[in-house]
Amino acid sequence: MEFLFSDWLGTPVWFWAAFIGLVVALTAFDLGILHKENKEMGIGESLKLSALYIGIALAFGAWIWAEKGGEAGLQYYTGFFIEKALSIDNIFVISLIFATFAIPARYQYRALLWGIVAVIVLRGIMIAGGGMPMDAVVSDFEAGAAEMLSPDAPADHWDLIEGQGSIFNPAYAAVSLGLLHGSQPDVFVVCHDPTRTVILGMESFALPSIEEVIDLTIRLGSRTNPAIRCGGVSLNTSSYDADAAAALMAAEAARLGLPVADPIRGGAAFAALVENCLA
C-alpha cells in the first residue's frame, strides 16, 4: 500500500483517490437515487441541490485546509469562488445547447449532468492526447486551429460552432472572424435581439441590421467557403408575449425570405429553421 502515499503532481495518491471517489459517489448518488426517473426540475429543488453541492465543496476545502495547510486551502477556495463566478456564462451556453437540440425539460437535468461527466472525460483525453483549447491559441494561428478542429465532415454529420461575438463587435470581431475563416461553415444562423439598438457593453456602436450581418458574413466567409449560406435567423423574443412574438417572426421571415424562429419557443417556425439548415 506504499504507493498510496507516493507523490503524484505534488499530492499523495490517496488524496487523489479520495477526491475522485467523492466525485464518482456524488454522481452515482445524483443519477441513481435523486434523479432515477426523468422529471422537470423546479426552482426550489434546483436551489436546494445547489446549496447541497456548494456545501460539499466548501467542506472539501476545509479538509484540504486541515490536511494540506492554510496556503493550499486558500488556493482551493480562491479557485472555487473564481470558477463559480465564471460559470455564470455556462447558463447561457447550456440554454443554447438545449434549445439547439430541442431537449425536453424533463430530460435536461440528466443531459446536463451526463454532459459534465463527458466534459471531464473528454478534457482529460484532450490533455493526454495533445489537443488544444481555442482560448489558448495565439490569435495568429486561430484560423488554422479552427480548421484542424472542424475538418470536412460526412453529409450526415454536423459540427456546431458558436461564434464568440458579432463580427461587428470591436472587441470580439477578430476572434469570430478567425473561427469563420478556419471552420469554413456551410451554413450559419444569425442570432438577434430585436429590442436592442446598440452593441452590448459598447453603447456608442449601433447594432447592425440583420441584412448587414448576413451580407458581411457571406462576403467574409466566402473567402474560405464560397458555398456559405445563411440558414435563417434566431430571434430572442423573451420580451414579447406569444402572439406578438409569432407576428414578429412571421413578418421578419417574409421580409428576409428566410426562416425566422425563437428556439426557446420552438414550434413550426423553429422546425422550418432546422430544416433549412439541413437542406
84/100 same-domain check = yes
- pLDDT of 259 strictly over 90: yes
Quote the cell numbers at residue 81. 469562488
The answer on 124 and 9 residing in a single domain is: yes
Residues 6+ apart with CB under 8 A from 119: none
| pTM: predicted TM-score of the whole model, two decimal places | 0.56
What's the first-to-final CA gap in the chain, in angstroms?
Answer: 60
Same domain flag for 18 and 117: yes
Query: What residue numbers bound the domain in which 18 lies?
Result: 2-129
Choosing from 104, 129, 154, the residue where a domain stops is: 129
Q: How many CB atoms lie within 10 A of CB 11?
A: 14
Q: Are residues 140 and 266 in the same domain?
A: yes
Query: pLDDT tens, 49-60?
Result: 888 889 988 998
Residue 129 confidence (pLDDT): 58
- The model's confidence at residue 114, banded by pLDDT at 50, 70 and 90, is confident
**How much is the pLDDT for 243?**
94
Give the model confidence (pLDDT) of 115-149 as tens digits.
777 877 777 676 565 555 666 666 777 788 788 77
Query: What's residue 253's pLDDT?
Result: 96
pLDDT band at 254 (very low <50, low <70, confident <90, very high): very high
Q: Model confidence over 73-107: pLDDT tens digits?
A: 899 899 888 888 877 777 777 777 777 777 787 77
| Residues 250 and 157 grouped into a single domain | yes
- Residue ranges of E strands in the chain: 7-8, 11-12, 187-192, 198-199, 202-206, 229-235, 260-261
More confidently predicted of 169 and 251: 251
Q: Are 235 and 176 in a shared domain? A: yes
Residue where a domain terminates, one of 79, 95, 129: 129
d(CA 157, CA 249): 29
pLDDT for residue 1: 66
Q: Which residue has the higher pLDDT, 121 or 224?
A: 224
Structural domain ending residue among the three candidates 103, 129, 155: 129
Output the CA–CA distances (angstroms, integers) from residue 277 to 185, 187, 194, 234, 273, in the order listed: 11, 6, 22, 12, 6
